[in-house]
Amino acid sequence: MPVRLIDSLASTEPFAELFSDASVLRAMLDFEVALARAESRLGIIPVAAAEAIAAAADPNAFDIADLSRNTLRAGTPGIPLVKALTEIVRSKDEAAAGFVHWGATSQDVSDTALILILKRAQPLLDADLVRTEGALHTLSEKHKNTTMLGRTLLQAAPPVTLGLKAAGWLGALRRGRERLNQAFADALVLQFGGAVGTLAALGDRGAVVAQELAAELKLACPDAPWHTHRDRLAALMCACGVLTGSLGKIARDISLLMQNEVGEAAEPGGGGRGGSSTMPHKRNPIGCAVTLAAANRMPGLVSSYLSSMVQEHERGVGGIQSEWPTVAVVMQATGLAAASIAEIAEGLSVDTSRMRGNLDANHGTIYAEKAMIQLAVKLGRDKAQRLVEEAARQAIEHNRPLAEVLAEMPEVTKHLDRAALRQLAVAEDYLGSAEFFRSRLVETARADATHHRPDAKD
């Protein structure tokens, strides 16, 4: 389904569909049908009743607008859903109507429906994250020897490689994906507790029904119902927040590299993406923009969910009612950020000549640390620092190369000959352990991906 206009910068179409009225209704009906089937197999309700309930659970038979209005009055979507389903069943089979929702409570419906929707969200997210990991791995390998300015506090600093930068993005993404998948694994559990979490309406068979119901829905069965224990969902929301923050960091870096004054990289454009309504020359970082918007919203959304965790006794007041909209927008924001960064990573263009030009445009002052370290061995750190600071000041003031200024300072030339000074501004000679760190990040990500592949064997 198309994204609502007001949400068009906050969701993708697949995630809009996932949290649409039709999707939520389908998930709630799936719970009711699965419950009836599980109970019929165990001999708790008649098989004919389960069949009647399944036949009645056609989303097209329900008035979603009416369900929405009645949900506001009931405080939960479960109550009007069960009432409407019961009436549809009754119209076909009076006896079967009495077995709708047998032994469950309204929160069982809404919580499990939410879990079923989240189960469908995981592969959507993971597909985009896998795409991004692959693209970043390729980028890092291709540019492992591409030197560029390091930047600290947005100022020019000693050189790094684009390969290391991309590997850093990859490492954070891989860690975030691992946290997210673990959080999903923990959260995708059945909620089925009845009125107060004891399933007393089912006598001594509640636990058996729960196991059968979980199997029917292909969800894990928890040790006990979790009506007011929201920690698993909270961990999932936090994992989304951390992941989206990491995606936002990638977007921030790329959008800064896209500035005209920098011009070292650019996200893909075309097809109406990144244009301006008044300035035809512009190529705006739109993928970065929507990713950053998602990352900016996320802390408040996660905080909102954490606030809702404090729920009273066996069933709370207000906490559960606040969660559905929060979970929906958290997942949609995460999905949008993941899809946007995947598109950017796969289509990122890199201007290596501009990177080299920016390296060379700083009068060699980015190598001041290198000169200071070489002199400190002979002069001590403090004296070396003062000499190089003065040389850097003169280089900037008079628009001269740092090495040239240093060559005119007797205290420097006593210890650094002209060959050493000529070598000062060679970026490739001042990369330290960049390649070691890059390759380690890439190998760790590759090993993690291999270990967690569906066909991988321990």
Q: Which residues are catalytic?
A: 276, 315
Q: Is the dihedral of CA 86, 88, 94, 95 positive or negative?
A: negative
Q: Of 287, 355, 297, 307, whose CA–CA distance to 328 is shortest?
A: 297
CA atoms within 13 A on the CB side of 410: 0
Q: Of 180, 142, 179, 149, whose CA–CA distance to 163 is shortest?
A: 142
User: What is the spatial distance between Cα 102 and Cα 192, in angstroms, rounded to a whole number?
Assistant: 11
User: What is the spatial distance between Cα 270 and Cα 254, in angstroms, rounded to a whole number?
Assistant: 17
Q: How many CB atoms lie within 10 A of CB 65?
A: 9
- 397: CB partners within 8 A, 6+ apart: none
- Give the 3-state DSSP-derived string for 155-167, with helices as H, strands as E and coil as C: EEEEEEEHHHHHH
User: What is the spatial distance between Cα 287 and Cα 256, in angstroms, rounded to a whole number?
Assistant: 13
| Cβ contact 82:109 at 8 Å | yes
Cα 132 off chain centre by = 11
Give the DSSP H or E segment for 349: strand 349-350
| Cβ contact 264:148 at 8 Å | yes
DSSP string, 364-413: TGGGHHHHHHHHHHHH-HHHHHHHHHHHHHHHHHTT--HHHHHHT-HHHH
φ and ψ of 383, to 5 deg: -65, -40
Q: Of 361, 230, 385, whose CA–CA distance to 306 is shortest?
A: 230
- 376: CB partners within 8 A, 6+ apart: 384, 385
